[in-house]
Amino acid sequence: MCVSSVCDSSQTMDRTNAHDRPVTHKMSRYVIAIDFETLGGVPSENGFTDIGAAILRLNDGYLIDTFRQSASMQGYQPESRCIEEFWSKPGNAQLYKETLEAVAAATNDPFQVIATLNLWIEENVNKIALQEGKADPSDVDIIIITDNSPFDAGILKCFSKKDTLYLIGGKYRDIIDVSCVYIGMSMKPVTTKLLDSSSKTIALEGLNEKRRWNGLPELTMPVFDVKHTHNPVDDAHSMALYWAFFQTALIDCANARIIDWKIYDVTGTGKKSNQ
């Protein structure tokens, strides 16, 4: 839907006629990526087995610090569906064995593990604030991300004795779901078919479409040394690296040449909406 005040019929549809604007788009300086491994999807019943986190400086991908700790499953039970659908797969046998061994050796319960994570976050944010000469840690330009916020943030909220949305110097910070951001970058209606696709792949497709319209060369998906292995530290680190890639690519695209959205085909019909 587009009202006449937004889409001017006198505009031409020459999409190559982008105009330069001052560089105003910037990304956050730091990101904290968090990843959980569990034996079920209900935290109060299934607990969690392992948590990993990584803090990354976004402009150059520098890894500042990592966190990993296993949690005791005492008082919690595995979920049969989770075991059958994931852990029982042939390729996961060794990982499952190592997970059970780590859980059996763990001395901290989930509440203690999350308390340790919260302290780790606060200490690193305070350290960054000191390095940047900021008296107030809440002024540190840092965000928290996961790749499944309803799941991961739910675990954080379940086992945290303080509000996890206020960990950065007591200032409110959303926990960003990277998959939702990537799906949004596709500029496509959300369907079950779209949700079954790789969110990073469709984000790159959407980004390259915008880059083509802006006269910029297309990008290819980077391959990092850190892989998604279900080691939560590796997974958090990988998540942060891809986030840095996409954020940098968006800034590059937006600041290089910004299309005037008034001349976009907002109807998807090849005609302006008010024609």
Confidence at residue 127, expressed as pLDDT on a 0 to 100 scale? 95
Task: Tell me the average pLDDT across 118-143.
Answer: 93
pLDDT of 21 higher than 70: no
Taking only the tens place, the pLDDT of each residue in 211-251 is 888 788 888 999 889 988 889 999 999 999 999 999 888 88
Output 219 or 254, whichever has higher pLDDT: 219
Domain boundaries along the sequence of the chain:
30-37+51-70+109-255
Confidence at residue 174, expressed as pLDDT on a 0 to 100 scale? 85
Instruction: Please give the Cα distance from 16 to 234 (Å, whole number).
Output: 41
Confidence at residue 270, expressed as pLDDT on a 0 to 100 scale? 35
Taking only the tens place, the pLDDT of each residue in 135-192 is 999 899 999 999 999 899 999 999 998 887 788 888 888 899 999 999 988 888 888 8
Q: Contact 45/75 with Cβ under 8 angstroms?
A: no
pLDDT of 15 higher than 50: no
Confidence at residue 102, expressed as pLDDT on a 0 to 100 scale? 95
| Residue for token pair 């990092």 | 224
Confidence at residue 261, expressed as pLDDT on a 0 to 100 scale? 35
Task: Tell me the average pLDDT across 64-69.
Answer: 97
Rounded to two decimals, the pTM is: 0.82
Sequence letter at residue 54: A
pLDDT of 197 higher than 90: no
- Give the C-alpha distances (Å, rounded to integers) separating 70 from 78, 163, 237: 15, 21, 17
Taking only the tens place, the pLDDT of each residue in 22-65 is 445 566 789 999 999 999 999 999 999 999 999 999 888 899 99
249's CB contacts (< 8 A; 6+ apart) are 207, 219
Confidence at residue 39, expressed as pLDDT on a 0 to 100 scale? 95
Fold of 30-37+51-70+109-255: Nucleotidyltransferase; domain 5 (3.30.420)
| 106 CB neighbour count, 10 Å cutoff | 19
Task: Tell me the average pLDDT across 65-87.
Answer: 95
pLDDT of 19 higher than 50: no
Confidence at residue 51, expressed as pLDDT on a 0 to 100 scale? 97
